[in-house]
Structure 1
Amino acid sequence: MAYKILPTLYSFALLIALSVISGTAVAAGSTADHSTFEGLKRSFESGPDVTRACLECHTEAARQIHKTTHWTWEYENPKTGQLLGKKNVVNNFCLSTSSNIAACSTCHIGYGWKDDTFDFTSEQNVDCLVCHDTTGTYTKDPKNKAPDLTKVALNVGPTSRATCGECHFKGGGGEAVKHGDLDPSLDNPDIFVDVHMDKDGLDFVCSTCHSTDQHAVAGSRYTPKASDNHGIDVPGKSDGARTTCQSCHGDVPHVKNAKLNDHTDKLACQTCHIPEYSRGDYASKEWWDWSTAGQLKADNTPLSKVDANNHEIYNSKKGDFRWENNVIPEYVWFNGTVRYTLLGDKIDPTNVVPINSFEGSADDPEARIWPVKVMRGKQPYDRANMTLAVPHTVGKDGFWQTFEWKPSLARGMAAAGAKFSGEYDFVETTMMWPITHMVAPREQALGCDSCHARNGRMEAVAGVYIPGRDSLPLLDTLGFGLLGLTFAGTLFHGVMRFIFRNRG
């Protein structure tokens, strides 16, 4: 039994160590106190001015940043050959960054990206503060009060849930819109929202798992790691990232009920251990219908509607929305390869168009059954070219000011370098997002009957026989036949014993 218990003890020790390494102890144990640096005790005219001061010591930091997807917003998937990244993909939230970069770049780790003239090679354009602010006052949003750059610079420190969440908890144009498992509930969650980030427990920060190497952050929505056969993360491993459950817990984490370990070659850990997403204080946006956008009040001013929970369910700029809490995920086979429908790809508007698709099947050794959020909605497409179409939304000539689809689409497609016929309509789309945060306490993990039952969690998962959900007619017939023969034999034996009870 010792060999079974050892991985669990090692995992527990590793989790405690990681919580210490990645929590507030990092700041307390740092070898540098930036508040004492004379070079930072001055007035800064701008963000780039702060960056120049940072680079006096951190000489390689900007060049490292320049090589990351966080900086380029571009990524070529080696498996599919598709050029992805926020610069290139289409989604069914805000649709596209192409001509709207002046607004979208408020979540870029740089200064001044307004249009195609932005200098991606400039070191001073790197924004150090957006990730390393510890005051909670830093912002680049022009609608907010300008931060005290000196105060922020003197108090820089490690990244935190708050700094990462400033963008990732608000993706898609608002809080809890995009991911389902990432929202401001994770700023200071309790154990019921996330067992790892529990502020009174392990208190993990994002970089505890999303470890970095020269500012490159492990973990990707474009090439997620669907399965991990490397086991627990130990020194010398070829894969040092901690973005998988197995990197801490291994492939046989269940000691008290070892039978559960028989599922790890087919199920992602998240499938059982994240029974619902959006479990905190924020509902997840599940539906976005752009086709209804543009309705105005009688005085031609924008219209907004909210439901009983104060969730916005209509906005003249964006259309209709639907929100949900405690959402049961959908489940798909996934091997880590994601294929996107890109601008210019032909679509079939008579069917629901998948913005992305997760590849994998039951006979794929790299595939696991994963929980996903499936975002649904309606968005524009080019009726003549049979391609998705993206609008220009921001600025005086954008849809959010003019409420005119045709010219907005023409400007958006031109900015993206795509053809637009001038004919448009709306098509229903889906987009999948893997669910991997908001891990529940073990007591709330799925039980056997959640999946091994008709109309259970696994009802739509194809290619695998699941006892309790599935039946094989021949096997059922043989089983009932054997049961009948057993009953008949037992009955015959009992009758014979009764008849001959007085003999011999």
Structure 2
Amino acid sequence: MNQTLWKAVLCGALAVCLWPLGAFAQLASDDSEAPGRALARQTVKNDAQKWITTDHSQLPILKQEFTRPEDVTKACLTCHNQAAMQLHKTIHWTWKDPADPSGDTGKGGISVNNFCISVGSNEPRCTSCHIGYGWKDKNFDFSKAELVDCLVCHEQTGTYKKFPTKAGYPVTNATMFDGKTEFLPPNYNAVAQSVGRPGRDNCGTCHFYGGGGDAVKHGDLDSSMAMPNKQLDVHMGTDGQNFDCSRCHTTDAHNIAGRIYATPASTERKSLLEDDLMPKIMCESCHGTQPHKTNQKANDHTDKVSCQACHIPTYARINATKMHWDWSVAGDKKREVKKDEFGKPDYDPKKGSFIWGKNMVPRYEWFNGSIRGTTARDVIDPSSTVRVSWPIGDISDPNSRIFPFKVHTGKTPYDKVNKTMVIPKLFGPKGSGAYWADFDWNKAIAVGQEYNELPYSGEYDFVDTEYVFPITHMVAPKEQAVACVECHSKGGRLDHLEGFYMPGRDSVQLLNMGGWALVAASALGVALHGLGRFLSSVGRRKE
């Protein structure tokens, strides 16, 4: 082959190899956003095409008459024959931390919180939000494929409800017939034929109402996020990016991207520029590590300050969230229940007293993506506030960033002798020992501890507790980002964080004294210089 031909072949090969880079460069240059965001936007368009699913209303197997939800699942599995096996390996099914071989960590284990405390012995009520049918006690068969609830995540009619009910079965609809009340099951045919990829309402069915009501738990996840505007959340706003939950919480074999107890949501801070196949759960996935086009000083913060810390100035901006729960005062059936400024009750005889908050400034802590939890086996120190869950991280950890949290405080029962948190039986009929029926703490704790095969000394009290929720939703428009002075000032948002020097907040006495000495010396020098000039000018006038 002659030299000219070789050059032609080489040039052609280079053109083919470099074309994608040129196309990407054009994409970046035509877009005012960072390249990562431009690629993310392009990916959204591709995802929209993938979003089209089979028209299930045309499938004969879904036109049969269904009388039980389990039969709908069996029909689903005739085509999606790997789905149940995949789900059985996920935390949405087990409610246990897959990284903990003991099985203690997780709602399905013996982890405790300072809301309704723990699931064990309270399953029929708590498992209203489980993606299965019939988890009413410890004998639930987690291996049965037909017990998977496909509908709660995939139906699109909005008529399929599980909450509140018993053990994960759908709510029946009451109707009058011939003078009598009948309870009819959902229209399984209509529901099954509507299925598609999960939307916000599917996820929100459980995640908006955690803790027993709208906005109770998280503070940044509630019913306002079903149809928010971009003032509430720039990503999910229907007049903005209009993302569904799965845009960031990407899924692989029914494993949904997100933090799982001590396991971070992601261990690598990559952008889509580096790896478009990674879970798109981190801000860097779309925005890169240098997200600010014209503010390099802001970019200098990204190695130590999370994006959320600046771009979620407050949480619970629409609906009030529960900030404090005192179990120790429960049981007073004569106490007057009052409504606070948000229209929320301050007391419930079954649960105790509450404090609610709205438009709350987060608490900021170092966070590497892991959270340390507490189980009913862990020994606590009741002489101080028990951090039932708390973020892991510090300034020396390269994976840690200053991150915003909701901190829920409470007074929660514990074993005075064994110095452990306890799991009381709360839900159940009268005579079962359930506190909400019998109002006897000692009996409720004894029954709950025995059910969970845990010791109980017979002596209980209440201890101050704290529980954290990372704030990652309700990202405000950039114009509403936290101003520099809100952190860089005495008494600012980061006033409690120690171990580093922050301009505007901190001062070094010796340095201050040296600085003022220099100022004084400069002022004295100016004064002496001026005096010398004046005296010399007087002498010249006399001559």
| Fold conserved between structures, TM > 0.5 | yes
* Shift of residue 341, structure 1, vs aligned partner: 1.9
Q: Which structure 2 residue ranges, 5 or more long, are not aligned?
A: 1-24, 166-170, 174-184
Residue 318 of structure 1 is matched in structure 2 by 351
TM-score normalized with structure 1 length: 0.92
Residue 243 of structure 1 is matched in structure 2 by 281
Residue 452 of structure 2 is matched in structure 1 by 416
Residue 451 of structure 1 is matched in structure 2 by 487
User: 268, 288, 304: which one pairs with 2:306?
Assistant: 268
Question: Is residue 285 from structure 1 mapped to residue 322 from structure 2 by the alignment?
Answer: yes
CA contact (8 A) 2:204 2:226 kept: yes
Give identity over the alignment, percent: 45
User: 95, 100, 103: which one pairs with 2:125?
Assistant: 103
Change in CA separation of 1:47 and 1:81 when aligned onto 2, cut-off 3 Å: closer
User: 131, 134, 152: which one pairs with 2:191?
Assistant: 152
Residue 236 of structure 2 is matched in structure 1 by 197
* AA partner of residue 252 (structure 1): Q
Residue 130 of structure 1 is matched in structure 2 by 152
Residue 188 of structure 1 is matched in structure 2 by 227
After TM superposition, which residue ranges in structure 1, 4 or more long, deviate above 6 angstroms? 2-7
CA contact (8 A) 2:427 2:435 kept: yes
Residue 296 of structure 1 is matched in structure 2 by 333
Question: Is residue 485 from structure 1 mapped to residue 506 from structure 2 by the alignment?
Answer: no
SS in 2 for 1:75: coil
* Shift of residue 22, structure 1, vs aligned partner: 5.5
* Shift of residue 225, structure 1, vs aligned partner: 3.7
CA contact (8 A) 2:320 2:342 kept: no
Question: Is residue 499 from structure 1 mapped to residue 520 from structure 2 by the alignment?
Answer: no
Residue 35 of structure 2 is matched in structure 1 by 10
* AA partner of residue 422 (structure 2): A
Once the two structures are superposed, residues 446-485 of structure 1 have per-residue CA deviations (whole angstroms, 9 ceiling, x without a partner) of 1110111000011001111111100011111121122222
SS in 2 for 1:493: helix
Change in CA separation of 1:402 and 1:22 when aligned onto 2, cut-off 3 Å: farther
Answer with 454-463 or 113-122: which moved more.
Answer: 113-122
Once the two structures are superposed, residues 104-161 of structure 1 have per-residue CA deviations (whole angstroms, 9 ceiling, x without a partner) of 1111111111112211111111110010011111113445523211101110011111
Once the two structures are superposed, residues 341-380 of structure 1 have per-residue CA deviations (whole angstroms, 9 ceiling, x without a partner) of 2102111212111101222211221211111111000111
SS in 1 for 2:237: coil
Once the two structures are superposed, residues 422-452 of structure 1 have per-residue CA deviations (whole angstroms, 9 ceiling, x without a partner) of 1111111001111111101100101110111
* Shift of residue 102, structure 1, vs aligned partner: 1.1
Question: Which whole-Å CA distance do the structure 2 matches of 1:486 and 1:46 have between them?
Answer: 88
SS in 1 for 2:192: helix
CA contact (8 A) 2:34 2:291 kept: no
Question: Which whole-Å CA distance do the structure 1 matches of 2:46 and 2:129 have between them?
Answer: 27
CA contact (8 A) 2:308 2:471 kept: yes
Residue 377 of structure 1 is matched in structure 2 by 410
CA contact (8 A) 1:227 1:368 kept: no
In our comparison, the structure showing a higher alpha carbon Rg is 2
User: 206, 213, 236: which one pairs with 1:174?
Assistant: 213
Question: Is residue 404 from structure 1 mapped to residue 443 from structure 2 by the alignment?
Answer: no
Residue 500 of structure 2 is matched in structure 1 by 464
* AA partner of residue 198 (structure 1): G
Change in CA separation of 1:439 and 1:18 when aligned onto 2, cut-off 3 Å: farther
* Shift of residue 18, structure 1, vs aligned partner: 4.9
Once the two structures are superposed, residues 247-271 of structure 1 have per-residue CA deviations (whole angstroms, 9 ceiling, x without a partner) of 1101110112111011111111100
Change in CA separation of 1:221 and 1:459 when aligned onto 2, cut-off 3 Å: farther
Question: Which whole-Å CA distance do the structure 2 matches of 1:487 and 1:62 have between them?
Answer: 79
User: 67, 86, 103: which one pairs with 2:107?
Assistant: 86
Q: Give the total of aligned pairs.
A: 493
Question: Which whole-Å CA distance do the structure 2 matches of 1:387 and 1:64 have between them?
Answer: 36
CA contact (8 A) 1:7 1:249 kept: no
Once the two structures are superposed, residues 168-188 of structure 1 have per-residue CA deviations (whole angstroms, 9 ceiling, x without a partner) of 111111111111111111000
* Shift of residue 229, structure 1, vs aligned partner: 5.0
CA contact (8 A) 2:314 2:359 kept: yes
SS in 2 for 1:483: helix
CA contact (8 A) 1:227 1:335 kept: no
SS in 1 for 2:375: coil
Residue 433 of structure 1 is matched in structure 2 by 469
CA contact (8 A) 2:258 2:265 kept: no
CA contact (8 A) 1:334 1:368 kept: yes
* Shift of residue 83, structure 1, vs aligned partner: 4.0
Once the two structures are superposed, residues 303-340 of structure 1 have per-residue CA deviations (whole angstroms, 9 ceiling, x without a partner) of 75433432021111111011010000011111223222
Question: Which whole-Å CA distance do the structure 1 matches of 2:492 and 2:221 have between them?
Answer: 26
CA contact (8 A) 1:101 1:113 kept: yes
Change in CA separation of 1:442 and 1:241 when aligned onto 2, cut-off 3 Å: same
Map 1:34-73 → 2, pairs under 5 A: 34-73=56-95
* AA partner of residue 105 (structure 2): L
CA contact (8 A) 1:292 1:319 kept: yes
CA contact (8 A) 1:454 1:469 kept: yes
CA contact (8 A) 1:392 1:412 kept: yes
* Shift of residue 495, structure 1, vs aligned partner: 2.9
Change in CA separation of 1:435 and 1:48 when aligned onto 2, cut-off 3 Å: same
* Shift of residue 227, structure 1, vs aligned partner: 7.9
Question: Which whole-Å CA distance do the structure 2 matches of 1:234 and 1:56 have between them?
Answer: 39
* Shift of residue 81, structure 1, vs aligned partner: 8.0
CA contact (8 A) 1:293 1:317 kept: yes
CA contact (8 A) 2:151 2:192 kept: yes
* AA partner of residue 463 (structure 1): G
Question: Is residue 360 from structure 1 mapped to residue 360 from structure 2 by the alignment?
Answer: no
Question: Which whole-Å CA distance do the structure 2 matches of 1:327 and 1:92 have between them?
Answer: 19
Question: Which whole-Å CA distance do the structure 2 matches of 1:234 and 1:48 have between them?
Answer: 44
Change in CA separation of 1:248 and 1:12 when aligned onto 2, cut-off 3 Å: closer
* AA partner of residue 61 (structure 2): G
Question: Which whole-Å CA distance do the structure 2 matches of 1:456 and 1:105 have between them?
Answer: 41
Residue 327 of structure 1 is matched in structure 2 by 360
SS in 1 for 2:408: strand
Question: Which whole-Å CA distance do the structure 2 matches of 1:18 and 1:304 have between them?
Answer: 51
Change in CA separation of 1:478 and 1:466 when aligned onto 2, cut-off 3 Å: same
Question: Which whole-Å CA distance do the structure 1 matches of 2:302 and 2:428 have between them?
Answer: 50
* Shift of residue 20, structure 1, vs aligned partner: 4.1
* AA partner of residue 290 (structure 1): W
Question: Which whole-Å CA distance do the structure 2 matches of 1:456 and 1:14 have between them?
Answer: 37
* AA partner of residue 439 (structure 1): V
What root-mean-square deviation, in Å, do the aligned CA atoms of Structure 1 and Structure 2 show? 2.4
Change in CA separation of 1:314 and 1:437 when aligned onto 2, cut-off 3 Å: same
Change in CA separation of 1:487 and 1:226 when aligned onto 2, cut-off 3 Å: farther
